[in-house]
Amino acid sequence: MKKEELFALIGDINDEILIEAEETEIKNNVKLKFNIKWVSAAAALLLIVGIAFFVPNIIESAKPDIGPDIIDSGSDGINDILKADGVIWDNGVDNMDGVASNESVSSYTEQMNGWKLEYKLWNVLQAADDGDLIAVLVSRVYSDDFAYNGKTAADIKSRRDGLRSLQIKLLDFEKEGEWLKYGELLYTTGTPDGEKWAKSLYDERVEYYGESFLSKYIIDGEVATDKMKEAYDDASSELERLSSELTALYKAYRTSYADADAKKFADAGVHMRTNNGYVVIFVEKDTLSSLKIAEKDSYVLSLASKKLFEQSLDGNTLADDVTGFACDKFGFSNLQNGYGVIESDAELISTLNSLIDTWKYTFDYIEITVRAESHIAQDELRAMNAFQVEYADYPARTVLCVRYTDIDLQALKALSNREDVMYISISEPLTAIDAEQIPAVEG
């Protein structure tokens, strides 16, 4: 065998082994940095003493006038911040959990004066001018022992990983089951169609699947394909449920710390707001750099999404009474369930309702992405009750933003049945980050 071939094959080794190697790197990095910390402790102490004399005055004079600090759980007290000029926000939808999972802590963070910063915030800090006020989301690093409804994230992830392994096994067995159903014949005489394995390979595959799996899916010498499909679909449904459980757990975790963290940052003299369990501080880069907060290791800071603070609505369930959509043109896409196709009118409306229900505390609108022979004209966008739009080319793509309360199913149906419309995707806000407002009709 050529050495290049073997080297290329090493590229296919298991994900778990690769992940472990990356994690080992991080653990060792931490150890090295710890050692370095001791070496530079004296220098750091001198710096802190120096800063202690000067920083309080700097912080005081740098605070722009953005109104009084308000710790609240609604949107009334934040309008001043949302409207303030010079505040730098994330226009996307990052960090929706408001909790830093161990994965994000280890993989996606930069360090600055003891703070763990997500990469986008770090970039913004490098480019920010003096006087720029930056909206920073304070996320708690997830504590492994936090439980919600009797389950920790590790419990949920362990179950999730188990289900994914089962699905992989089922997919593998789809092919190998047709050989393994012959049992010992596979390595003794060979199968009727000439397949013959080494005993060691046979033993290895039997060990991989396990006796209970094999006895469950080989019935009367045949592979129980229907049973396998059912098991695969059941696992998919449970994976969706686990994903929702994990979101709920992170929300509970975030909320459990929100008040205490809000007070901590308010006591440190920085402007801050809370909303729906999210804690956001508003700081200049120098203020953040010198900010003294206990247990900095417990947090990861990231650029806050303005959408976290925009008014959210209760979902308004859409009635299941419109039919005649061109369903074959529809697809859905959302962070909970990935993407997929729509097969019936009822499924389309149910998907819309599910989308609204999932995101109602975060957004008040959905995105409808239309691929057509040309962009959708503005008067047609108004007919769809869209309030903002983003256009892209290659091919012509129009991303309409429509508030939950304004979704007009009849207009959506009419759009889907247009001959020049090729594809319509519905999703929570994700793409239209540079959307422009649709101007009102003159006169």
Contact positions vs other proteins (CB under 8 A): 1-15, 17-21, 24-25, 28-29, 31-32, 92-94, 96, 107-108, 119-120, 164, 198, 200-201, 204, 333-335, 338-339, 369, 371, 392, 394, 425, 427, 430-431, 433
Question: Minimum Å distance from CB 49 to other proteins?
Answer: 32
- CB of 246 or CB of 407, closer to other proteins: 246
Question: Minimum Å distance from CB 1 to other proteins?
Answer: 4
Question: Minimum Å distance from CB 57 to other proteins?
Answer: 37
- CB of 274 or CB of 334, closer to other proteins: 334
Cα–Cα distance for residue pair 357/359, rounded to 1 Å: 6
Question: Minimum Å distance from CB 291 to other proteins?
Answer: 26
Cα–Cα distance for residue pair 372/416, rounded to 1 Å: 10
Among 339, 424, 345, residue whose Cα is nearest residue 386: 424
- CB of 4 or CB of 65, closer to other proteins: 4
- CB of 169 or CB of 273, closer to other proteins: 169
Other residues' Cβ atoms within 10 Å of the Cβ of residue 336: 13
**Is the CB of residue 163 less than 8 Å from the CB of residue 238?**
yes
Q: Which residues contact 128 (CB under 8 A, 6 or more apart)?
A: 88, 134, 284, 285
Question: Minimum Å distance from CB 329 to other proteins?
Answer: 14
181-188, long-range: CB < 8 A, 24+ apart: 181/218, 181/221, 181/222, 181/223
Cα–Cα distance for residue pair 115/137, rounded to 1 Å: 13
- CB of 120 or CB of 413, closer to other proteins: 120
User: Do strands 421-427 and 365-372 pair parallel, antiparallel, or not at all (unpaired)?
Assistant: antiparallel
Question: Minimum Å distance from CB 63 to other proteins?
Answer: 31
**Is the CB of residue 399 less than 8 Å from the CB of residue 387?**
no
Question: Minimum Å distance from CB 129 to other proteins?
Answer: 21
- CB of 51 or CB of 430, closer to other proteins: 430
* Reduced 3-state DSSP string for 65-96: CCCCCEECCCCHHHHHHHHCCCEECECCCCCC
Cα–Cα distance for residue pair 163/332, rounded to 1 Å: 24
- CB of 126 or CB of 410, closer to other proteins: 126
- CB of 161 or CB of 314, closer to other proteins: 161
In the three-class reduction of DSSP (H, G, I as helix; E, B as strand; rest coil), residue 322 is classed as: coil
Cα–Cα distance for residue pair 363/404, rounded to 1 Å: 9
Question: Minimum Å distance from CB 150 to other proteins?
Answer: 26
Cα–Cα distance for residue pair 183/209, rounded to 1 Å: 13
Question: Minimum Å distance from CB 32 to other proteins?
Answer: 7
- CB of 219 or CB of 433, closer to other proteins: 433
Question: Minimum Å distance from CB 409 to other proteins?
Answer: 22
Q: Which residues contact 184 (CB under 8 A, 6 or more apart)?
A: 202
At 404, list the tokens: 């939950």
At 207, list the tokens: 């060990």
Question: Minimum Å distance from CB 203 to other proteins?
Answer: 12
Other residues' Cβ atoms within 10 Å of the Cβ of residue 11: 7
Give, in order, the Cα–Cα distances in Å from 213 to each of 70, 100, 206, 410, 422: 57, 37, 9, 49, 44
- CB of 15 or CB of 85, closer to other proteins: 15
**How many H helices and E strands in the chain?**
14, 20
- CB of 54 or CB of 339, closer to other proteins: 339
Cis peptide before 395 (omega within 30 of 0): yes
